């Protein structure tokens, strides 16, 4: 309990003093090591670690991920073994050796993505849950400083993240046993993943200060991480436009994702940096940025605690609709003074009429974006980028539509995986769930309303995609058939993910757990599985009639991103030369009829699966919902 003692010794200037100066002075006195221990592993850390350790979902998520990874590896190995059954000893070993680097890269990428997404999900609720359960005030009256709270919360979640990342270590090591995998690769990939996760976690925590709900903070963190990974590409583009010469590859070392890609690819021609250690720089940058973000978050938390102490805390910070300051600040006074109650009763928001399906009505009213301004800024940025591409590459360029459609599909799937995961856990957290269940609403109405609401909140990306496609069709870049085909490809998976999201939200206690689980479903189905199959196919050069080939085809038909790309290519201008458009489907090109049948088949599979999941929820409704009745 040395940490306790240190805290007591440190001159306490009150919980609200967030001044950097006092913090540093205390640090110097208490000795660096014990201060760090007190800050990282203080009471907040202890409490959070204990709570997380008690949660079943923590272990569920870990084992699901481990199982998924092992499954992918096993599938790849099995496919190789199947294909090389007639090989002799050495050839067989060589086939397995060819598999190792690809599989390792696949695992490293999976972990990189999982860490970047899971970290903000883990930290997104750190402060805002505290505020929602009104325990922030209690925390603020302890001698803990805001910085200590922030670091304690961050450290406890990082432990989870590190465990998650290190889960892959045994798998990587067993791959090394086959040879063909350098330890510098494992080290580099792990460091990149951890430093990215650290930054993502800090961002989620910082956003948690302001966010109304954990999921908002998490999406903020993920969005910033996506930008952080993509900005070198923007830099290269700008350099190219300005100088007219091919941009320097040095840019690539400024994004962790690109860095990981280069690590996976091995040395490239024209590289101006040491291939073994270039990743160290971006790791250092990420860690430094995390420190800055954490300091900002601590300062911000201090301000918030002070403000909450000064006035009546409002449960949710952002005022969506106009309210009088008096009404928000101190409702207590309004009770005591009927005259004032009268006056602010009149100035408040305008009430709207509720529809006949109340759950659906409320879901529909929940904005996809927190404010119109944010939506406008976001839309303007995306539209601006699209216009920039049109101006430079040209709308008629066949690749443009393919790239836009694929990016749109990826973003849409990401949105679908997160859109509905808070729908029921949120009700349970705000204790409205049990009241809702004593009304005449049927489970089907409630769950259906939640799914429909989630679908509606996803309108932005489809709208942008539609806008682009209409322009592309008008410009003659793609056939008009692309629009309905694209809609058909995307609708099944989106409905499926929203349904599984609601199901997980009903089953699991926490929004973050449901979010991670739904992301795992999506990434398992559409990233890990094809990756493993792709690697296996590469290694074995399996034909389409082989067993592995069949699985590969089936998996890719179910992959909306792959199918989107294939459809865009097939219906693009460049393929109009012949009499019929051809669609690429793994090793063969198929005609429009076959391709459409495949798409309809996939949509049918997804809708049937959604229906099955929905049905399961209805059957288990009473049981699962009772778990939320605390």
Partner 1 sequence: MIEIRGVTKRYGALTALDNLSLTIGPGEVFGFIGPNGAGKSTTMKILAGLLQPDSGTATVCGHSVATEAPAIRRVLGYMPDFLGVYDDLTVDEYLQFFASAFRIERGRRRAVVSSVLELTDLTDKRHAMVDSLSRGMQQRLGVARVLIHEPKVLLLDEPASGLDPRARIELRELLLELKRMGKCIMVSSHILTELAEMSTSIGIIEKGRLLFAGSIADAFARAGAGERIAVALEPGSADGAAAAERLRADARVAGVTLEPPGPDGAPGGLIVELTPGVHGHHFLIESLMAGGARIASFTPRPIKLEDAFLRLTKGQLN
Which residues bind to partner 1, rule: CB under 8 A?
314-316, 320-321, 323, 327-328, 331-332, 334-335, 338, 341-342, 344-346, 348-359, 361-362, 365-366, 427, 430-442, 622, 625-626, 629
- Percentage helix, strand, coil for the chain under 3-state DSSP, each rounded to 5: 75, 0, 25
Shortest distance in whole angstroms from residue 540 CB to partner 1: 51
Q: How far is the CB of 332 from partner 1 (least distance, A)?
A: 5
Q: Residue 147: which of 54, 258, 26 has the closest Cα?
A: 26
3-state secondary structure of 88: coil
590: left (phi > 0), else alpha (psi -120 to 50), else beta? beta
Pick between residue 370 and residue 573 the one whose CB is nearest to partner 1: 370
Beta bridge partners, 413, equal none
Residue with Cβ nearer partner 1 (141 or 629): 629
We find the least distance from the C-beta atom of residue 317 to partner 1, in angstroms, to be 11
* Cβ at position 394, least distance to partner 1 in Å: 45
Q: Which two tokens stand for residue 26?
A: 């205390």
**219 contact partners, CB below 8 Å, separation of at least 6:** 120, 418
Residue with token string 């399961």:
616
Angle at 54 between CA 50 and CA 58, to 5 degrees: 105
In the complex, minimum distance from the CB of residue 582 to partner 1, in angstroms, rounded to a whole number: 50
As beta bridge partners, residue 588 has: 585
Comparing CA positions, the residue from 371, 461, 468, 482 lying closest to residue 416 is 461
Residue 507 CB, nearest approach to partner 1 (Å): 17
Buried residues in 106-125 as b, exposed as e (16+ CB within 10 A): bbbbbbbbbbbbbbbbbbbb
For residue 152, what are its two tokens? 């304690």
Which of 468, 628 has the CB closer to partner 1? 628
Which C-beta is closer to partner 1: that of 22 or that of 324?
Answer: 324
CB of 431 to partner 1, least distance (A): 3
Nearer to partner 1 (CB atom), residue 437 or residue 546: 437
User: Smallest distance, Å, CB 327 to partner 1?
Assistant: 5
At which residue do the structure tokens 């201090």 appear? 302
Min dist CB 336 to partner 1, Å, is: 9
Pick between residue 54 and residue 245 the one whose CB is nearest to partner 1: 54
End-to-end distance of the chain based on CA atoms, in angstroms? 34
* Residue 300 to residue 1: CA distance in whole angstroms: 29
Give the Cα separation of 458 and 416 in Å (integer).
7
Of 355 and 484, the one with the shorter C-beta distance to partner 1 is 355
Nearer to partner 1, 210 or 573 (CB): 210
Output the CA–CA distances (angstroms, integers) from residue 345 to 319, 330, 337, 351, in the order listed.
Answer: 16, 13, 12, 12
Q: Specify the residue, 248 or 437, whose C-beta has the smaller distance to partner 1.
A: 437
């Amino acid at each position: 309990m040395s940490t306790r003692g240190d805290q007591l010794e440190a001159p306490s200037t009150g919980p609200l003093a967030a001044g950097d100066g006092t913090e540093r002075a205390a640090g110097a006195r208490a000795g660096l090591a014990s201060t760090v221990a007190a800050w990282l592993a203080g009471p907040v850390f202890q409490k959070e670690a204990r709570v997380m350790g008690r949660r079943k979902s923590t272990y569920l998520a870990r084992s699901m991920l481990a199982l998924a990874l092992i499954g992918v590896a096993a599938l790849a190995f099995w496919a190789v073994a199947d294909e090389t059954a007639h090989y002799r000893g050495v050839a067989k070993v060589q086939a397995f050796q060819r598999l190792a680097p690809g599989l390792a890269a696949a695992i490293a990428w999976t972990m990189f993505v999982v860490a970047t997404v899971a970290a903000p999900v883990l930290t997104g609720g750190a402060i805002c849950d505290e505020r929602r359960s009104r325990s922030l005030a209690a925390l603020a009256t302890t001698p803990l400083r805001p910085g200590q709270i922030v670091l304690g919360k961050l450290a406890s979640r990082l432990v989870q993240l590190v465990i998650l990342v290190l889960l892959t270590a045994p798998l990587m090591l067993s791959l090394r046993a086959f040879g063909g995998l350098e330890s510098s690769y494992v080290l580099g990939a792990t460091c990149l993943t951890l430093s990215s996760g650290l930054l993502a976690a800090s961002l989620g925590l910082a956003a948690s200060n302001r966010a109304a709900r954990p999921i908002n903070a998490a999406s903020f963190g993920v969005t910033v991480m996506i930008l952080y990974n993509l900005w070198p590409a923007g830099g290269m583009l700008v350099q190219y436009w300005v100088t007219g010469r091919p941009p320097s590859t040095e840019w690539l070392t400024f994004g962790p994702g690109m860095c990981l890609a280069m690590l996976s690819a091995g040395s490239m021609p024209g590289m101006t940096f040491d291939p073994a250690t270039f990743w160290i720089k971006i790791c250092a940058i990420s860690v430094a940025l995390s420190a800055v973000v954490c300091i900002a978050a601590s300062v911000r938390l201090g301000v918030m605690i002070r403000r909450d102490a000064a006035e009546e805390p409002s449960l949710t910070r952002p005022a969506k609709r106009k309210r009088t300051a008096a009404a928000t600040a101190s409702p207590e006074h309004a009770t005591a003074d009927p005259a004032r109650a009268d006056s602010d009763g009149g100035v408040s928001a305008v009430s709207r009429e509720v529809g006949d399906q109340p759950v659906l009505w409320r879901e529909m009213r929940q904005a996809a974006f927190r404010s119109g301004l944010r939506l406008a800024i976001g839309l303007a940025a995306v539209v601006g980028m699209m216009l920039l591409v049109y101006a430079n590459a040209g709308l008629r360029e066949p690749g443009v539509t393919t790239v836009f459609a694929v990016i749109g599909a990826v973003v849409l799937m990401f949105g679908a995986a997160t859109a509905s995961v808070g729908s029921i856990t949120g009700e349970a957290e705000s204790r409205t769930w049990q009241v809702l269940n004593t009304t005449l609403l049927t489970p089907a109405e409630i769950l259906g309303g939640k799914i429909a609401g989630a679908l509606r909140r996803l309108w932005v990306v489809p709208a942008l995609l539609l806008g682009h496609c209409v322009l592309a069709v008008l410009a003659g870049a793609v056939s008009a058939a692309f629009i309905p085909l694209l809609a058909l490809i995307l609708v099944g998976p989106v409905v499926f993910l929203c349904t599984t999201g609601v199901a997980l939200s009903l089953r699991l206690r926490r929004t973050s757990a449901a979010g991670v689980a739904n992301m795992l479903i999506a990434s398992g189905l559409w990233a890990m599985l094809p990756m493993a199959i792709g690697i296996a196919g590469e290694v074995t050069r399996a034909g389409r009639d082989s067993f592995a080939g069949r699985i590969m085809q089936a998996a890719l038909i179910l992959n909306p991103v792959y199918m989107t790309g294939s459809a865009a290519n097939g219906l693009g201008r460049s393929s109009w030369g012949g009499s019929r458009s051809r669609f690429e489907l793994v090793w063969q090109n198929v005609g429009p009829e076959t391709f459409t049948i495949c798409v309809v088949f996939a949509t049918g599979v997804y809708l049937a699966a959604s229906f099955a999941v929905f049905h399961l929820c209805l059957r288990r409704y009473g049981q699962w919902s009772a778990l939320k009745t605390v």
